[in-house]
Amino acid sequence: MSPSSRDPPPDGAPRPWVLGFHPVALAVAAVHFAAGFTVLRRGQPAEGAYVLFRYANQLAAGRGITYYPTGPRAEGAGDFAWMIALAVGRVLGLDAALGALLLNTLGAFLAATILASFLSRPGIRERWWAEAAPFLLLVSCSAAAGYLGFSSMLQGALALYAYWLFVAGGPARTLALPPTALLLGLFRPDSLLLGAGFAALGLWQAHRLRLTPRYLRFLGAAVGVVAVYVLWRWRYFGHLLPLHARVEGEGPLPALRDCASFLLGLAGPPLAVLLTAGLLLPRARRARYLPMALGLVPFGVHIGALGFGLASPDVAFRAASPALLPLSLFAVVVLATEAQVSGWRGWIGGALVLGWMAAPGVTRLIDAVRGSCADTYVERFAVQLARSVGRGDTLALTEPGRLAYWTDARIIDLEGGNTPETAVEAPTVAYLEGVAPDVVMLTVRDVRFGDGTQAVVPLEEPLDAYLARQGQSADQGGATGVTVEFLGRHRDEYDVYAVRVGEAVHHVYGVRRAFARAEVVEQLLVAAQTQAYQPYLSLPRP
């Protein structure tokens, strides 16, 4: 019997797929909620999280899955099950960001319970540092992205639960793998790979347990649900993938670079522990960890697919983050089981190991929270803009999350993630001329707010000439280059403003002069640069 299979309840128990209660999991969940609430009280959700919240708000209001009230059916929110859960919370009167925090806190509780179950078995129960390992969840990438409003902690917990079901084994837990894989696959398109991987492992395990016919019935039911879901998507949206997955990405080389960064950086410490153990432990002892090693295969397939350019934002921070949880768990189990150091040396060694494993995640967490809490004008301007534009007005934006969150105006996503017309093909000048947006916003360069003074500069010269004079090329291709060209061709119709942060031009706005509230919008844009910072919980609810 493997070291990891001694803790689960007997397979003959009433509900062997249910984990036991561990007080440390409650502590982890409490700290997770406090940390996430502090981010909302002092900072903002991420730009992409605002997009998810907006879809949930529209769905809860009975408008269907659309980005603005009169818009076409569109799903830029890749986290389908997450969007549905947030919409249910909105129907019940719960703010979308607070709903996301509660769901991720539930994920933290589940993940901590799984880790505690693995690490409380006989033989390592007295190793305090192993018992403290669940607190690593609080500084993981899953937690960091979750604090910013994404589904990563709950998604990671579901993936870890599937891992536990496979490693713990037994007939009932094996039969629980297909529905768990189904739920996991509904979170994100790339999570289908994780779900399919665990379903395949479950089939292999069912064959060993002589459960193949029963398992195939469970698996067939799950596949049937997937087929119905796919058919519904096709009929509802007219295509299978979310819009952001249809937007042409950077290609496999940048994705491989991101995956290499993940493996060498964030996943480096647990991988180093496991590789060292694989080299030093004799074959008989290595064989004891075979179930835990096999359970990592779906995560490896998932990361490999991401490395070949499967569309997914921020591979190393969000998409690949579920793999960190079983990797870290496996490494701690091996160390806690095989280490022969005790007493004060064991205490110091354990503390050093936990610190080493936490360090990469702490760095990313600090960067994420710092960015979330930076003083920006965008939220203030977005709330005020919503009071000046309505359903008959059109905004064309390269950042359609925060800036569009509070308004019911028509939203054109120039990057294609939320607008069907620009998802498959990049926008053209002719397309923008047909749209005739009242307000245009494009991102020229990503900068870190707080590193310089924010200022609005009215432009008297052509935009491309101004950017060239600032040392920022206007020929950036895609939506940015097209929008610069559009504003250049229609200089007589738009007032153009550059938002500078320090020495760099960050955003550019074009306000159509014929727009009835053009002067008001321009005044709001200027005023928003100097007004007091407002964190999320101080802003009005949409």
Q: What pLDDT, in 10s, does the model give residues 340-392?
A: 666 666 667 777 888 888 888 888 888 888 888 887 888 889 999 998 898 99
Q: Are strands 504-512 and 439-443 parallel, antiparallel or unpaired?
A: antiparallel
- pLDDT by residue (tens digit) across 15-25? 555 667 788 99
Residue 432 has pLDDT above 60, yes or no: yes
Q: For residues 279 and 284, what is the distance between their CA atoms, to the nearest angstrom?
A: 13
Local structure of residue 39 (DSSP, 8 states):
H
Residue 75 half-sphere exposure toward CB, CA atoms < 13 A: 22
Place 476 in a pLDDT band, splitting at 50, 70 and 90. Answer: low
Nearest to 209 by CA among 161, 177, 247, 244: 177
Predicted pLDDT at 352: 83
- Using DSSP, state whether 52 is helix, strand or coil: helix
Predicted pLDDT at 500: 87
- pLDDT by residue (tens digit) across 180-207? 999 998 887 778 889 999 999 999 999 9
pTM exceeds 0.85 for this model: yes
**Helices 324-338 & 268-280, crossing angle to 10 degrees?**
40
Residue 22 contacts residue 113 (beta carbons within 8 Å): yes
Place 101 in a pLDDT band, splitting at 50, 70 and 90. Answer: very high
Nearest to 125 by CA among 336, 349, 331: 336
Q: For residues 118 and 164, what is the distance between their CA atoms, to the nearest angstrom?
A: 9
Question: Phi, psi at residue 358, to the nearest 5°?
Answer: -85, -25
Q: For residues 427 and 83, what is the distance between their CA atoms, to the nearest angstrom?
A: 27
Q: Which amino acid makes up residue 472? A: Q
Bridge partners (DSSP) of residue 443 are: 507
- pLDDT by residue (tens digit) across 241-282? 776 665 544 455 555 666 666 677 778 889 898 999 889 889
Token output for 31: 């700290």
DSSP character string of 421-454: HHHHS---HHHHHHH--SEEEEES----TTSS-E
Burial class (CB in 10 A: 0-12, 13-18, 19+), 126: exposed
Neighbouring residues of 212: CB distance < 8 A, sequence distance ≥ 6 = 203, 206
Of 94-108, 124-138, 281-295, minimum mean pLDDT range: 124-138
Place 87 in a pLDDT band, splitting at 50, 70 and 90. Answer: very high
- pLDDT by residue (tens digit) across 484-521? 999 999 999 999 999 988 888 889 999 999 998 899 99
- Give the Å distances, CA to CA, from 421 to 73, 128, 397, 432: 12, 56, 14, 11
Bridge partners (DSSP) of residue 410 are: 394
Q: Reading across the β-sheet that carries 439-443, which strands appear in turn?
A: 410-413, 394-397, 439-443, 504-512, 494-501, 454-458
Token output for 531: 């007004």
Predicted pLDDT at 336: 80
Residue 451 contacts residue 375 (beta carbons within 8 Å): no
CA 14 to chain centre: 35
Q: For residues 364 and 141, what is the distance between their CA atoms, to the nearest angstrom?
A: 7
DSSP character string of 102-146: HHHHHHHHHHHHHHHHHHTSTTTTT-HHHHTGGGGGGGSHHHHHH
